[in-house]
Structure 1
Amino acid sequence: MEEQVRRTLDSGPGYLDLREGQVEAMPGYMEVLGRGGASFLGAVERCRGCGWELAWGTLQKEARFSPAEVLLLLLCAVGWTVLRNVASRCFFRPFALWCHLQPKDAAKVPESAWKLLFYTASWSYCAHLLFFKEYTFFWDPPSAFQGWASGMAVPLDIAIAYLLQGSFYAHSTYATLYMDAWRKDSVVMLVHHVVTLVLISFSYAFRYHNIGILVLFLHDINDIQLEFTKLNVYFKNRGGAYHRFNDVISDIGCVTFSFSWFWFRLYWFPLKVLYATCHSSLQAVPDIPFYFFFNILLFALTLMNVYWFLYIVMFVGKVLTGQMHEVNDVREYDIDEAEKAPLQPENGDLRHNSAHSGGKAFKNGIVKNKQL
């Protein structure tokens, strides 16, 4: 067995089934399209008579999600919202004032700092599960479906990850509407949060939690780099002075973010996750429930990853052509000077002069006609 592992590692990346002693080379894009597409179309052919009645029956028979679990998820989502408000008022906003950031940058710090803390913790926990526990889902994604059984017990460590992630995306759906800055892609971001929340909830209910941990691991690392880079962009001009160190760090962060986005979301995600869910899942469980539902949502997630990658390409193009001389968020709306209002510290909080906004609520420098 050890010799087989050594030969596999020497031969390059591959899927290794530690329990069966079988090695399957990691597929390429064409194999994902060929085998995965053939399996998907074959499932469509076999399921011509499927309909809503069968889907509803399968949902009732196979899904395992108790009312207590739903209530716990909702309570945790409320808890995230309260914790974010407390952290913003007591730590993030006072710290931004103490650092004398520019008003438009100081208003954006709480959102980025909050997301940076959460995604760092969540990604580290997923990495701990994948690389420091007995799970082999990263090295052998098809093994995520081996031994699957309806209503099987979810390991406590994975259940904790699901509770934290599911409740956070429930909170994030609300936060996108009422707390975060409104950007050009906010509608897509809202759809992303809903799709992710549905995937997390239903993958737990149908016991597809093994592949779900891999999906979360491959996505959260990019959010860490994004928020860290944005914070350095905000901090490079503070106290009336330019800070070269933060500017260099933001440039490095932009490069690593662009590379990791492609590697994790556009390279590993299709080859590891989509191949396993489209092809390997049917090999392990020929009549696996809600096969189309999950794969269609994963395809939608892939399309959104491609959509956001276009923004990255747009940014790189602007830098190479000299249209942009510093790192910035190309997703932000450009706000006319007439629509901007100065931030005034009021009781330790950052608020905009309402006389300039016509009574509308400002969120991170963006006029948003929203109410709680």
Structure 2
Amino acid sequence: MPESAWKFLFYLGAWSYSTYLLFGTDYPFFHDPPSVFYDWKPGMAVPRDIAVAYVLQGSFYGHSIYATLYLDAWRKDSVVMLVHHVVTLVLIVSSYAFRYHKVGILVLFLHDISDVQLEFTKLNVYFKSRGGAHHRLHALAADLGCLSFCLSWFWFRLYWFPLKVLYATSYCSLRSVPDIPFYFFFNVLLLLLTLMNLYWFLYIVAFAAKVLTGQVRELKDVREYDTAEAPSPKPRKAEKPLRNGLVKDKRF
């Protein structure tokens, strides 16, 4: 629960700020994706409001690599999640360094909304059964959150992301800047991000199939292990026996 609460607060704030940049300012990136490359120049100045978003997101994903390994619950997709955090951090740092920050804001906006809904849903799943009672309000919020999460994942990450971001980076970038540097580097990373979005969408489809066939009656995160089968991300060191052949009791 604390893990989901922390992520929900961060993603809600980060997505709200990205939404403000795209719809509350004069930036036309969402409605006109090719505009992210219209006036591109190497070493161009990064607006302060966009730089703030980059500092926050870069710090978060740098921390997330450590958190996935040592703090968060280990899940069935934790290895893919770790790769995702590394790819995202590389994209954030490199897009800032090479001044592709305009398309970066668009990428962050299209991804963070799904994480807001995921963590909101998980929080309500945890809250609906507590104190020996079933709380219908949290159960309803979890069901609605799950539905909106599934729809937003498809719409934002699998429809709008290729339509707006990949179209701008793979096609429009060459039309605006024919010799644009690091073309293949950034597009390969963005394509890898798309493949990971498809990978996680399979979890969504698998969960929906189990619900429709009656295999799952209770809303839960299908990526999580049962308590008895949860593995550790790192193997535990073997206990060293004492001179008398016994193993030292850690309580003493």
Give the letter for the 2:157 counterpart: R
Identify the residue that residue 189 of structure 2 maps to in structure 1.
Answer: 297
Identify the residue that residue 332 of structure 1 maps to in structure 2.
Answer: 224
1:323-344 superposed Cα distances (whole Å, 9 cap, x missing partner): 00021000011232xx7xxxxx
The total of aligned residue pairs comes to 236
How far apart, in 1, do the equivalents of 2:231 and 2:188 lie? 34
| Partner SS for 2:99 | coil
Question: Which residue, 188, 201, 217 being the options, matches 2:109?
Answer: 217
1:178-226 superposed Cα distances (whole Å, 9 cap, x missing partner): 1101000000000000000000000000100000000000000000000
How far apart, in 2, do the equivalents of 1:117 and 1:174 lie? 19
**Displacement of 1:240 after TM fit?**
0.8
How far apart, in 1, do the equivalents of 2:113 and 2:213 lie? 29
Question: Which residue, 253, 266, 269 being the options, matches 2:158?
Answer: 266
- Contact 1:266–1:305 (CA<8 Å) still a contact in 2? yes
| Partner SS for 2:173 | helix
- Contact 1:266–1:306 (CA<8 Å) still a contact in 2? yes
How far apart, in 2, do the equivalents of 1:303 and 1:367 lie? 26
Larger relative strand fraction: 1
Q: Does 1:175 align with 2:76?
A: no
1:97-127 superposed Cα distances (whole Å, 9 cap, x missing partner): xxxxxxxxxxxx1100000000000000000
Identify the residue that residue 140 of structure 2 maps to in structure 1.
Answer: 248
Q: Residues 156, 266 of structure 1: CA spacing in aligned structure 2 closer, same or farther, 3 A cutoff?
A: same
Identify the residue that residue 142 of structure 1 maps to in structure 2.
Answer: 34
How far apart, in 2, do the equivalents of 1:210 and 1:370 lie? 42
Q: Does 1:280 align with 2:133?
A: no
Q: Residues 370, 168 of structure 1: CA spacing in aligned structure 2 closer, same or farther, 3 A cutoff?
A: farther
How far apart, in 1, do the equivalents of 2:108 and 2:235 lie? 31
- Contact 1:226–1:253 (CA<8 Å) still a contact in 2? yes
| Partner SS for 2:91 | helix
| Partner SS for 1:147 | coil
Q: Residues 239, 366 of structure 1: CA spacing in aligned structure 2 closer, same or farther, 3 A cutoff?
A: farther
How far apart, in 2, do the equivalents of 1:369 and 1:167 lie? 24
How far apart, in 2, do the equivalents of 1:179 and 1:316 lie? 29
Alignment of 1:23-172 (within 5 A): 109-172=1-64
**Displacement of 1:132 after TM fit?**
0.6
- Structure 1 unaligned regions, length at least 5: 1-108, 340-364
- Contact 2:58–2:89 (CA<8 Å) still a contact in 1? yes
- Structure 2 unaligned regions, length at least 5: 237-252
- Contact 1:335–1:366 (CA<8 Å) still a contact in 2? no
Q: After the TM superposition, which segments of 4 or more aligned residues of structure 1 sit over 6 Å from their partners? A: none
How far apart, in 2, do the equivalents of 1:203 and 1:244 lie? 45
How far apart, in 1, do the equivalents of 2:202 and 2:89 lie? 24
How far apart, in 1, do the equivalents of 2:84 and 2:168 lie? 21
- TM (norm. structure 1) is 0.62
% identical equivalent positions:
71
How far apart, in 2, do the equivalents of 1:264 and 1:326 lie? 26
- Contact 1:278–1:295 (CA<8 Å) still a contact in 2? yes
Question: Which residue, 119, 128, 152 being the options, matches 1:236?
Answer: 128
**Displacement of 1:368 after TM fit?**
5.3
User: Which of the pair has more CA radius of gyration?
Assistant: 1
Identify the residue that residue 149 of structure 2 maps to in structure 1.
Answer: 257
**Displacement of 1:236 after TM fit?**
0.6
Q: Residues 292, 311 of structure 1: CA spacing in aligned structure 2 closer, same or farther, 3 A cutoff?
A: same
- Contact 2:107–2:165 (CA<8 Å) still a contact in 1? yes
- Contact 2:69–2:233 (CA<8 Å) still a contact in 1? no
**Displacement of 1:237 after TM fit?**
0.5
Compute the RMSD of aligned alpha carbons: 1.3
How far apart, in 1, do the equivalents of 2:219 and 2:156 lie? 22
Give the letter for the 2:61 counterpart: Y
How far apart, in 1, do the equivalents of 2:55 and 2:110 lie? 18
- Contact 1:181–1:366 (CA<8 Å) still a contact in 2? no
Identify the residue that residue 193 of structure 1 maps to in structure 2.
Answer: 85
